[in-house]
Amino acid sequence: MSTLLLNLDFGEPPPKKALEGNAKHRNFVKKRSKAPKLHSEPPKKGETPMVDGTWKTPSFPKKKKTAACSNESGQPLDKKAAVSWLTPAPSKKADSVAAKVDLLGEFQSALPKINSHPTRSQKKGFQKKSSKKNHPQKNAPQKSTQAHSENKCSGISQKLPQKMVAIDCEMVGTGPKGHVSSLARCSIVNYNGDVLYDEYVLPPCHIVDYRTRWSGIRKQHMVNATPFKIARGQILKILTGKIVVGHAIHNDFKALQYFHPKSLTRDTSHIPPLNRKADCPENATMSLKHLTKKLLNRDIQVGKSGHSSVEDAQATMELYKLVEVEWEEHLAQNPPKD
C-alpha cells in the first residue's frame, strides 16, 4: 500500500463570515444577542420587564379599610356579595339541597314580580262567589220563564176554542123511492156560534124527495147550489184537524162520505153528563130539540118551514159548552179509540 498522506494546515483559522442578510435582519440578531436572560418563573399580573432583566411591579394606591364595607350597616362584603344569588352552592353534599333552595329563592326574589294566573281552586272559589252574588239575578229569569209558561198555557187554552167547530147538515132523498139520504145543505159555526160555512149542496144523484118538512130544502134552493164534489172539498178543509161537535154526527159524516177521528169528535147525543143535566137516562139518545128546550129553554125546529142547519149547529155548540169541562176531563182519562 502506498503511504497515506495527510494534508493538515495548522495555521490560523479562517476569518468569520460577515453577517449575512439585510440590515433589518442584522439589527434583529444584534438585539437578540444583547437581550437579558428571562426568569424561570412567569411574570406576575401587572409586572413589566426592565432593561436589566428584572420585572417591575406597578404601585397601586392602598384601599381604605372603609371601602370594604358596602352595606349601610358597615358589614364587610366579599367581591361576590354584590351578586349573592349567583354564588355557587357549597361543595358539601349535606348542604347541597338547602343551598339550591336558597339559590332559587334569591334568584326569584331578584326577578321582577309578575301577576300569576289563578289556580283551579281559586277559580272555583271565584265562581262560587260570583254564583252567590248572581243568585238573586237567576231567580228573576226563572220567575219570568214561569210566567212565560203560564202565559203560554193560557194562550193554548185560548187557542183550543179556535180549533173547535159545530156542524149540522140537511139531507134530501135520492135513489129508489128517495130512501138514500144525500147532502143538500151544510152549516158550520165556530165556538162562539159565528157562521163559518153555510151553503146549499147539489147532490150528484137525482133528488126524489126534498123532505122540506124536516130539511127546509126546496127546489129553488138547488138552482145555484154548489156541486157536491166542490162543497165536500171546502167542508173538509174546515174540519180537518179540528174538534167537531154535532148531534147524531155520524149521519152528517155519512152524507159527506167522510170519516173524522173519534178523538176529535164530540157527539151531543151520546154525552151522559148532558143527559143527567136534562134529567134523562144517561144511555138514552135524546133529540136535539128536546135537549135545547130542557137545558137552553129555547124552541128550535118548529113550524112547517123545516129545520135550519145554522140554528141547529149553534144549539149543538151551546149544549156542549154546558158540560165541556166535565166531559173533556172524562175523555182525558178515557181517550176514545179511533
pLDDT tier at 149 (50, 70, 90 boundaries)? very low
- Give me the domain span that covers residue 322: 164-333
Least confident of 70-79, 274-283, 325-334: 70-79
Q: Check which CATH number belongs to the domain holding 305 and give it.
A: 3.30.420.10
Residue 152 lies inside a defined structural domain of this protein: no
Q: Are 230 and 256 in contact (CB under 8 A)?
A: no
Compute the mean pLDDT over every residue in the chain, rounded to the nearest whole number: 74
Residue 200 lies inside a defined structural domain of this protein: yes
| 103-115 confidence digits (pLDDT tens) | 555 555 555 555 5
Give me the pLDDT at residue 230, please. 97
Residue 271 lies inside a defined structural domain of this protein: yes
Residue 338 lies inside a defined structural domain of this protein: no
DSSP for residue 69: B
Give me the pLDDT at residue 137, please. 47
**Residue 232, phi-psi category: left (phi > 0), alpha (psi -120 to 50), beta (remainder):** alpha
Report the number of distinct structural domains present in the chain: 1
| 7-43 confidence digits (pLDDT tens) | 555 555 555 555 455 777 777 777 776 655 544 455 5
Residue 58 lies inside a defined structural domain of this protein: no
pTM above 0.85, yes or no: no
Give me the pLDDT at residue 174, please. 96
> What are the φ/ψ torsions at residue 67 (nearest 5 degrees)?
-70, -20
Q: How far apart are CA 170 and CA 199, in angstroms?
A: 11
Give me the pLDDT at residue 238, please. 96
DSSP for residue 171: E
> What are the φ/ψ torsions at residue 88 (nearest 5 degrees)?
-70, 155
| 123-137 confidence digits (pLDDT tens) | 555 555 554 444 444
Residue 132 lies inside a defined structural domain of this protein: no
Residue 77 lies inside a defined structural domain of this protein: no
Give me the pLDDT at residue 71, please. 47
Mean pLDDT of the 181-197 span: 96
Residue 316 lies inside a defined structural domain of this protein: yes
